[in-house]
A and B are shown apart, each in its own frame.
Chain A
Amino acid sequence: MPAKRKKYLVPALLSVLVAGLGQVVKGDAKKGLRTILWMYMGFPIIIIGSSLLNAYIFLAIFATFVVIYPIIWALNIMDAYSTQVRIRR
């Protein structure tokens, strides 16, 4: 059956605030929490931890994350805005 793509404005706005929050509110808690965990704990720990190693390793990691952070975030907002979710009966 052809599903109509639903728009979720409020979750999208929440995802703008905190990446992954939109998904949690929408009901896809697993995905949302996974995003939050990576964005606010995993990646920062990798970045800060790498500053203990070597200037250039740190720089490479940091630069990579500066590029991919906004991309992940934007994808996350788009996902919160328009993905279909399975709704349990």
Chain B
Amino acid sequence: MAKKLDTLRLLAILILFFSIIYCYLMVLSPKTIPYYLRFWPLPKNTNILVMGVDVTFDKERHVQIKEIGRTDTMILLNINNNNFKVNMLSIPRDTVVEIPGYGWQKINSAYFLGGPALAKETVEKFLGAPVNNYIILNTRALIKLINLMGGIRVYVDRDMYYVDNWGGLKINLKKGWQTLNGDQAHGFIRFRQDALGDLSRIQRQQEFLQTVLKKLATPVMLLKSPWIMAIAFENIKTDLSLKDILYCLNFARALRKDDINMSIVPGSFAVGELNASIWAPDLDSLHEIVNKYYSRKLLAKLEPRKIPSSAITIIDNSDDFDSVRQIMKILYKKEYTIVNVSSQKKPNITKTQIIAQKGDETGARKLGGLLGINNVYVAGTGDMMSDFTIVVCSDWRQSLEKTVIR
């Protein structure tokens, strides 16, 4: 009897001991808790699409997230519970993708056109990776978070001045190390009046995120955690459940700089319709990154591409996305520059053809041989900005099959 009691007591002490250690680990380093011992963890590999929505608010109004607006920032997060790493793939807002049902457009309008579901679908189709969940962030969340943290110290890489009265955005920052409050930080990560535009903004955002995570890891922030959670609950729209959000927050708290792999969708700048700048993705390099779970660190590490001689516009005339994608792949292999991909239809054209805008017929023939297109015209009806315009119709796929068989 006494012996049984003793084992019981021992068991109780063991359980107590275990729970003490568990509590400490939960607070101090959640990463060290084995996966199967965690409370309601996310699946081992979860892809979450984080979208920062381009909605501006009045200062007085406590507006919850609006349904409309364009996604200025799109990041695909891959939370890897196995090796406790996060992979981030930033998708530039000007990336040209096929939005299901809407044709070729900039990716930032996917959310505007069809809400989170369409944005998810678009990214899934574009990257070929599943997107499990989405998080929509409001700029207000950022402002409040930075104010709560008592400002954040960052290096401002250039003088920034930009006033957008309509959007209520005012940026006025000087070069050098600065401690930014919420509004200034908001301006800092939204500024994109650089030569590289959105790309330098993405780099800035990634640096900024590292700084924020570093500061979030300090013990003082643990005391402020209820307020952080309140900000999160108020300004986030997501299909994750409450316990998943809490899990993510705890996970984010434990992240260090080298736990995060960041990359940007590779591609090249191009000028689209109405002189709007676009980002033409390099699909091969992108798929390589996706397959590696975004293991590449930064765009700078990618090989620089040679500047090819001719600029090309692709017009998708029959919603044949696969064909356009294939053409883009072929052209990228041969290092042509794709200036624009458009779904603005030319109803008078029914056969796949190449239009040589600037009179270079031999070049157009060469391109036609590469793609299996026999109809080559020298005309001024193509895109004004590029050397060649490829109008892709539904017959291209058949002609390609023929050339492959031959």
Mark A residues whose CB is within 8 Å of B: 18, 33, 36-37, 39-41, 44, 48, 51-52, 54-56, 58-59, 62-63, 66
Known contacts A48-B39, A51-B242, A58-B242: A18-B20 contact under CB 8 Å? yes
> Is B39 in contact with A59, judged by CB distance below 8 angstroms?
no
Q: Is the CB of B243 within 8 A of A66?
A: no
Q: Say if the beta carbon of B102 comes within 8 Å of chain A.
A: no
Contacting residues, chain A, for B242 (C-beta < 8 A): 51-52, 54-55, 58
A33 partner residues in chain B, CB cutoff 8 A = 16
Cβ of A60 to closest chain B Cβ, rounded Å:
9
Given A37-B16, A55-B242, A66:B226 Cβ within 8 A: yes
Within 8 A of A (CB), among B204-253: 223, 225-226, 229-230, 233, 242-243, 246
Residue B23 is within 8 A (CB to CB) of chain A in the complex = yes
Q: A33's closest neighbor in chain B, by CB?
A: B16
- A51-B16 in contact (CB<8A): no
With beta carbons under 8 angstroms apart, the residue of B16, B22, B230 that contacts A36 is: B16
B20 adjacent to A62 (CB under 8 Å):
no
B243 / chain A contacts, CB cutoff of 8 Å: 51-52
Instruction: Point out the residues of chain B lying under 8 angstroms from A44, CB to CB.
Output: 19, 23, 26
CB distance from A15 to the nearest CB of B (A): 13
Q: How far is the CB of A34 from chain B (nearest CB, A)?
A: 11
Of chain B, the residue at the smallest CB distance from A63 is B226
Report the minimum CB–CB distance from A67 to chain B (whole Å): 9
Starting from the known contacts A48-B39, A59-B230, 18 additional A-B residue pairs (CB-CB under 8 Å) come to A18-B20, A36-B16, A39-B23, A40-B19, A40-B20, A44-B23, A51-B242, A51-B243, A51-B246, A52-B243, A55-B242, A56-B233, A58-B246, A59-B229, A62-B226, A63-B226, A66-B223, A66-B226
Taking the closest CB of chain B, its distance from the CB of A64, in whole angstroms, is 9
- 16 pairs from A and B in contact (CB 8 Å cutoff): A36-B20, A40-B16, A40-B20, A40-B22, A44-B23, A44-B26, A51-B246, A52-B242, A52-B243, A58-B246, A59-B229, A59-B230, A62-B226, A62-B229, A66-B223, A66-B225
Chain B interface extent, by class: 10 to 19
Q: How far is the CA of A80 from the CA of B286 in the complex (A)?
A: 61
In the bound complex, what is the Cα–Cα distance between A58 and B233 (angstroms)?
Answer: 11
Q: Is the Cβ of A59 less than 8 Å from the Cβ of B233?
A: yes
On B, residues with C-beta under 8 Å from A are 16, 19-20, 22-23, 26, 39, 223, 225-226, 229-230, 233, 242-243, 246
Q: Which of A41, A59, A62 touches B19 (beta carbons < 8 Å)? A: A41
**How close is B391's CB to chain A, nearest CB, in angstroms?**
52
- A59 to B246, alpha carbons, bound, how many Å? 11
CA of A27 to CA of B19, assembled, Å: 22
* Residue of A whose beta carbon sits closest to that of B233: A55
CA distance A29 to B255 in the complex (A): 39
Residues of B within 8 A of A63 (CB): 226
Smallest beta-carbon distance B249→chain A, Å: 11
Instruction: Tell me, rounded to whole Å, the shortest Cβ–Cβ distance linking A31 to chain B.
Output: 15
Query: How far apart sit A23 and B229, CA to CA, in the bound complex (Å)?
Result: 35
**Distance (whole angstroms) from the CB of B144 to the closest CB of chain A:** 15
- Min CB gap B178→A, angstroms: 31
Q: Which residues of B contact A66 (CB under 8 A)?
A: 223, 225-226
Q: Which residues of A contact B26 (CB under 8 A)?
A: 44
Enumerate chain A residues within 8 angstroms of B246, measured Cβ to Cβ.
51, 58
Query: What separation, in Å, do the CA atoms of A18 and B16 have in the docked complex?
Result: 11
Contact of A41 among B16, B39, B233 (CB under 8 A): B16
Most B-side CB within 10 Å, residue of A36, A51, A54, A56: A51
Closest A residue to B225 using CB positions? A66
CA distance A36 to B13 in the complex (A): 11
Nearest-CB residue, chain A, relative to B39: A48
Q: Is A59 within 8 A of B16, CB to CB? A: no
Closest B residue to A41 by CB, please name it: B19
**Complex-state Cα separation, A86 to B226, whole angstroms:** 41
- Across the interface, name the chain A residue whose C-beta is closest to B227: A63
Q: Which residues of A contact B23 (CB under 8 A)?
A: 39-40, 44
A55 to B20, CA, bound (A): 26
Are B226 and A59 within 8 A (Cβ)?
A: yes
- Whole-angstrom distance between the Cβ of A40 and the nearest chain B Cβ: 5
Residues of B within 8 A of A18 (CB): 20
Min C-beta distance of A65 to chain B, whole Å: 9
Task: State how many angstroms separate the Cβ of B230 from the closest Cβ of chain A.
Answer: 6
A38 to chain B, nearest CB (A): 11
Give the Cβ gap from A73 to chain B, nearest Cβ, in Å.
12
9 smallest CB-CB distances across A and B, nearest first, come from A63-B226, A55-B233, A40-B20, A40-B19, A40-B23, A51-B243, A41-B19, A55-B242, A62-B226
